[in-house]
Structure 1
Amino acid sequence: MIWKNSISLSLITAVFVQLLCQLFKAVFYSLKDKKMGIHYFFSPGGMPSAHSAFVTSLTTAIGIEAGFGSRIFAVSFVFSVIVIYDAFRLRGTVELHSRALNRLYKKLPENERIEMPTMVGHSLDEIAAGIAVGVILTVLVYLGINRL
């Protein structure tokens, strides 16, 4: 049963996938900007979507452990869809608003300017990459420990 033996593996795998995505973002965007930017590790936006990877990893692990027809998988799947939708639609809108506000703030005197973070949402490509990373890495973890 998932609760007795493998919830920790499901959670550890999902956290591992999340951290790997964030580390990738920190390295990728630091190389792209040609300067080290540790803030990218903590950034909620960018390629790939760590939100999508995290929830997809957890849902995949639950499916492997409890069965893809189980109730717990269904619950996890529904919450994954909500998180992914939020990462794309809601936070994507927040990102657009931040960009617009930053353009307006540039018209203010320098001492009154506030820089809004603009890397907070995700594109469909970033979400698709996050989903792929979540599924692939989770399957590899479970293959590696002979749980598949």
Structure 2
Amino acid sequence: MNPIEQLLQNKILWVAIVSWFIAQLFKVIITLLQEHRLDWSKLWASGGMPSSHSAFVMSLAISAGQVWGYDSTYFAIAAVVSFVVMYDAANVRLEAGKQAAVINQIIEVLENPDLNPEERLKEILGHTPLQVVAGGVLGFVIAILSFM
């Protein structure tokens, strides 16, 4: 079997991708419900509810556990990577987003005429703990349902 066929038949990979996609789709739906506007850019945006990063890695870990057992090395590796990604999303990236907001406020105060608005920093980089947990639960549920 060639590498493309192997990728197309990799159920664990597809469960993770579907989990990511559903989390991103939820962002579009939540924006529609909260702001009464359809914003398809949310389909590719980072940050927001739920964390697609968390859904992605949690579904990967649970899928590995379902396939190889929760006592396997594969599950252990995937679980550790998942915890690192989720910690990063809720802490490091969240703080970087707060710093970007402050820097953007400083730029506005300085009123630099040479400032290009496209050079503003992206402020929504990370997630609140609730967004990370919601993404993790979503990934968990999708993975469990996929292997029933």
> Aligned-pair distance for 1:106?
1.8
| SS of structure 2 residue aligned to 1:14 | helix
TM-superposition CA deviations, 1:41-88 (whole Å, max 9, x none): 111101111101100001000000000000111111111111111111
Amino acid at match of 1:85: Y
How far, CA to CA, are the matches of 1:41 and 1:31 in structure 2? Answer: 15
Aligned with residue 144 of structure 2, among 135, 139, 147 = 139
1:1-148 matches, cutoff 5 A: 8-107=10-109, 108-109=111-112, 112=115, 113=117, 114-143=119-148
- Residue 43 of structure 1 contacts residue 120 of structure 1 at CA under 8 Å; is this kept in 2? no
Count of aligned pairs: 138
Amino acid at match of 1:8: N
| Structure 1 stretches of 4+ moved >4 Å | none
> TM-score, with normalisation over the residues of structure 2?
0.85
**5+ residue gaps, structure 2:** 1-5
Q: For residues 116 and 31 of structure 1, do their structure 2 counterparts lie closer, same or farther at Cα, with a shift above 3 Å needed?
A: farther
How far, CA to CA, are the matches of 2:31 and 2:106 in structure 1? Answer: 26
CA RMSD of aligned residues (A): 1.8
> TM-score, with normalisation over the residues of structure 1?
0.85
How far, CA to CA, are the matches of 2:60 and 2:75 in structure 1? Answer: 9
Q: For residues 19 and 110 of structure 1, do their structure 2 counterparts lie closer, same or farther at Cα, with a shift above 3 Å needed?
A: farther
- Residue 88 of structure 1 contacts residue 123 of structure 1 at CA under 8 Å; is this kept in 2? yes
Structure 1 window deviating more from structure 2 (112-121 vs 39-48): it is 112-121
Structure 1 window deviating more from structure 2 (71-80 vs 56-65): it is 71-80
How far, CA to CA, are the matches of 1:32 and 1:103 in structure 2? Answer: 25
| SS of structure 1 residue aligned to 2:10 | helix
**5+ residue gaps, structure 1:** 144-148
Amino acid at match of 1:94: A
Percent of residue pairs bearing the same amino acid type: 28
How far, CA to CA, are the matches of 2:86 and 2:106 in structure 1? Answer: 30
